[in-house]
């Protein structure tokens, strides 16, 4: 009798789990959506413990990157030119994003100079978006690079 009761309980548990219970991703609620401005870049040298911080100046803080719900990205990049701080020409033929998983996004961009594709780790903390990258110094020291953005 106990065996029959256990089989019955197990069949109820197995049939109560369905694909309808799975959590689906809704791109309209992604944290990346909206307009962002880059505020600083922090480089942490893993071996020496040194840290370099590049803060964006008033001209660079005018630059905006917008991640849209349709998967496109638009940018307004400001930098110094002949007449001071000015809006630079659009450099992308297209620029798209797609979420690949927790903290991972896939980007695909094309310019007149070529095409770039790849995954990017992005974290969100205290209303900031942080791009996480690695690079290496000339001496082979690993450098963790964190690029901070704030929502406009």
Residue 80 lies in a domain: yes
CATH of the domain at 139: 2.40.128
Residue 9 lies in a domain: no
CA neighbor of 94 nearest in space, from 71, 78, 77: 71
Residue 5 lies in a domain: no
Neighbouring-strand partners of residue 70: none
Residue 88 lies in a domain: yes
Residue 111 lies in a domain: yes
pLDDT in tens, the chain (152 residues): 444 343 444 444 444 444 555 567 787 889 999 999 999 999 999 898 889 999 999 999 999 999 999 999 999 999 999 999 999 977 777 789 999 988 899 999 988 788 888 899 999 999 999 999 988 988 889 999 999 999 98
Question: Which residue segment(s) compose the domain that 86 sits in?
Answer: 33-151
Longest dimension (CA), the chain: 89
Distance between CA 90 and CA 142 in Å, rounded? Answer: 33
Distance between CA 9 and CA 27 in Å, rounded? Answer: 38
| Phi–psi pair at 32, nearest 5 degrees | -70, -20
CA atoms within 13 A on the CB side of 132: 9
Residue 22 lies in a domain: no
Residue 19 lies in a domain: no
CA neighbor of 97 nearest in space, from 118, 77, 124: 118
Residue 108 lies in a domain: yes
Count Cβ neighbours within 10 Å for each residue of 101-132 and write b for 16 or more, e otherwise: eeeebeeebeeeeeeeeeeeebeeeeeebbbe
Is the Cβ–Cβ distance between 108 and 116 less than 8 Å? yes
Task: Name the domain count of the chain.
Answer: 1
């Amino acid at each position: 009798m106990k065996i029959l009761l256990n089989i019955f309980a197990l069949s109820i548990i197995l049939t109560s789990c369905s694909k309808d219970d799975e959590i689906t991703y809704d791109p309209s609620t992604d944290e990346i959506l909206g307009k962002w401005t880059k505020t600083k870049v922090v480089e942490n040298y893993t071996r020496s413990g040194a840290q370099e911080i590049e803060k964006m100046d008033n001209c660079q803080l005018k630059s905006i990157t917008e991640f849209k719900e349709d998967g496109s990205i638009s940018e307004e990049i400001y930098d110094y030119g002949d007449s001071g701080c000015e809006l630079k020409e659009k450099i992308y033929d297209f620029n798209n994003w797609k979420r690949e998983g927790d903290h991972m996004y896939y980007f695909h961009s094309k310019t007149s100079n070529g095409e770039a594709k790849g995954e990017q780790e992005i974290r969100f903390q205290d209303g900031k978006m942080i791009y996480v990258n690695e690079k290496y110094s000339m001496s082979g020291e690993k450098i963790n690079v964190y690029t901070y953005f704030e929502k406009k």
